[in-house]
Structure 1
Amino acid sequence: MYDIENYYEAKSVEDAIAHLAADEKAEVIAGGTDVLVKLRAGKDVGCDLVSIHEIPELKGVDRLTDGTIVIGPATCFTDITNDPIIQERLPYLGEAVDTVGGPQIRNMGTIGGNLCNGATSADSGATMQTLDATLVLQGPEGSREVPVTEFYTGPGRTVRKRDEVLIAILVKPEDYIGYSGCYIKYGKRRSMEIATLGCCVRVKLEAVDAKQAEAGETGGTQDSSTTRREDAASTEQKDAAGSPALPGAGFSLADVRIGYGVAAPTPIRCRKTEQMLKGMSADDPAIYDIIATHVEEEVHPRSSWRASKEFRVQLIREMAKRALEQAILRGIGKGTPGAGDFLPVELEGKQKMRETMTQDTAEVARTADGGKDTGCGKGGEHHA
Structure 2
Amino acid sequence: MFDITNYYEAPDLAALFKLLAQEPTARIIAGGTDVLVKARAQVPSFVKVSLIGISRIAAMKGITIDAGGTISIGALSTFAELEHDPLILQNMPLLRQAVSLVGGPQTRRMGTIGGNICNAGPAADSAPALFTYNAVCELHSATTVREVPITEFYQGVGQVKLQPGEVLVKFKIAQVDYQDYRGYYIKFAQREALDIANLSCAALVKVDPANHIQSLRLCFGAAAATPIRMPAAEAYALGKMVSNATLKEIGNRCLVDTKTIADWRASKEYRDHLVTVLPARALALALKEAE
The TM-score, its normalising length taken from structure 1, stands at: 0.73
- Find the residue that maps to 1:200 and give its secondary structure: strand
Report how far residue 113 of structure 1 moved. 0.5
Residue 274, structure 1, aligned to residue 234, structure 2: yes
Specify the alignment match of 1:321 in structure 2: 280
Residue 7, structure 1, aligned to residue 7, structure 2: yes
- Per-residue CA deviation, residues 36-93 of structure 1 (Å, 9 max, x unaligned), is 3222133321221111112223122111111000101101000000000000000110
Change (3 A) 1:162 1:105: farther
Partners of 1:37 and 1:105 lie apart in 2 by 12
Partners of 2:14 and 2:287 lie apart in 1 by 44
Report how far residue 285 of structure 1 moved. 2.7
- Find the residue that maps to 1:306 and give its secondary structure: coil
Residue 291, structure 1, aligned to residue 250, structure 2: yes
Q: Which amino acid aligns with 2:3?
A: D
Specify the alignment match of 1:307 in structure 2: 266
Report how far residue 328 of structure 1 moved. 2.0
Q: Which amino acid aligns with 1:30?
A: A
Report how far residue 162 of structure 1 moved. 3.9
Contact 2:233–2:251 (CA under 8 A) maintained in structure 1: no
Partners of 1:14 and 1:281 lie apart in 2 by 53
Specify the alignment match of 1:257 in structure 2: 217
Q: Which amino acid aligns with 1:297?
A: V
Specify the alignment match of 2:30 in structure 1: 30
Contact 2:248–2:277 (CA under 8 A) maintained in structure 1: no
Report how far residue 330 of structure 1 moved. 3.0
- Find the residue that maps to 1:150 and give its secondary structure: helix
Contact 1:29–1:52 (CA under 8 A) maintained in structure 2: yes
- Find the residue that maps to 2:5 and give its secondary structure: strand
Contact 1:29–1:50 (CA under 8 A) maintained in structure 2: yes
| More strand per residue | 2
Report how far residue 205 of structure 1 moved. 1.1
Q: Which amino acid aligns with 2:74?
A: G
Contact 1:58–1:73 (CA under 8 A) maintained in structure 2: yes
**Residues 50-59 or 5-14, more deviating:** 50-59
Report how far residue 6 of structure 1 moved. 0.9
Specify the alignment match of 1:69 in structure 2: 71
> Which of 187, 190, 200 in structure 2 is aligned with 1:188?
190
**Residues 47-56 or 68-77, more deviating:** 47-56
Q: How does 1:1-384 map to 2 (within 5 A)?
A: 1-39=1-39, 40=41, 41-208=43-210, 251-282=211-242, 284-331=243-290, 333=291
Contact 1:13–1:165 (CA under 8 A) maintained in structure 2: no
Partners of 1:34 and 1:67 lie apart in 2 by 33
Partners of 1:307 and 1:162 lie apart in 2 by 35
Contact 1:28–1:165 (CA under 8 A) maintained in structure 2: no
- Find the residue that maps to 1:207 and give its secondary structure: coil
Partners of 2:147 and 2:209 lie apart in 1 by 35
Partners of 1:307 and 1:43 lie apart in 2 by 28
Contact 2:218–2:234 (CA under 8 A) maintained in structure 1: yes
Q: Which runs of 4+ in 1 moved over 3 A?
A: none
Contact 1:17–1:139 (CA under 8 A) maintained in structure 2: yes
Partners of 2:143 and 2:157 lie apart in 1 by 26
CA RMSD of aligned residues (A): 1.2
Report how far residue 175 of structure 1 moved. 0.1
Q: Which amino acid aligns with 2:278?
A: M
Q: Which amino acid aligns with 1:296?
A: L
Structure 2 gap ranges (5+): none
- Find the residue that maps to 1:43 and give its secondary structure: helix
Structure 1 gap ranges (5+): 209-250, 334-384
Report how far residue 193 of structure 1 moved. 0.9
Contact 1:21–1:140 (CA under 8 A) maintained in structure 2: no
What is the total number of aligned residue pairs between the two structures? 289
Report which of the two structures shows the higher radius of gyration computed on alpha carbons.
Answer: 1
